[in-house]
Amino acid sequence: MVKQKIVLRFPPHLVEQPTIYHLIKDFDLMVNILRADINPKKEGRLMMELSGEELNYQRAVEWLKEQGLRIMGLEQQIIWRSDRCTHCGACTVICPTEALAFNRPEMTVSFDEYKCVVCELCLKACPARAMETLVENANSR
């Protein structure tokens, strides 16, 4: 028996596919959705706990990858604490994907989590400790 919390990232063309249905029906897994962020025709994210037989879980993971979904552990999610951010811009210089971007003329920083590739460079670069992993974030609350 395995019980695993994961995050699934869906490309836009897969957002409306019955992925959960297949996990339950084809792989006999129990699916507990912890958080969902799904928008039609945009990239989506599902945080869920999967439980079931180890072999079924492994087969389901392979199937999900074959479908083009990204599977990430909870520690691989980056959180922007806007309440701590001073909009100094330091992170925008080192972020390789422009997930952290400086907006003009507002002179504010914004975070687009769908562009984030979890390189973690911003975690060390931020003087205000406004960038965290999801696990750090959960532990600090």
Q: Give residues in contact with ligand SF4 (CB under 6 A).
A: 78, 85-91, 95-97, 99-100, 109, 116-122, 125-126, 128, 130-131
* Strands, sheet with 44-52, edge to edge from the N-terminal-most edge strand: 30-37, 44-52, 2-10, 70-73
Q: Which is nearer to ligand SF4, 66 or 83 (CB)?
A: 83
Residue 103's DSSP bridge partners are 108
Q: Which is nearer to ligand SF4, 50 or 91 (CB)?
A: 91
Closest C-alpha among 117, 24, 107 to residue 33? 24
Shortest distance in whole angstroms from residue 29 CB to ligand SF4: 29
Q: Which is nearer to ligand SF4, 9 or 52 (CB)?
A: 9
Shortest distance in whole angstroms from residue 81 CB to ligand SF4: 8
Shortest distance in whole angstroms from residue 132 CB to ligand SF4: 10
Shortest distance in whole angstroms from residue 4 CB to ligand SF4: 23
Q: How many CA atoms lie within 13 A of 33 on its CB side?
A: 12
Q: Which is nearer to ligand SF4, 20 or 118 (CB)?
A: 118
Distance CA 72, CA 54 (A): 18
Cis (ω within 30 of 0) for the bond into 11? no
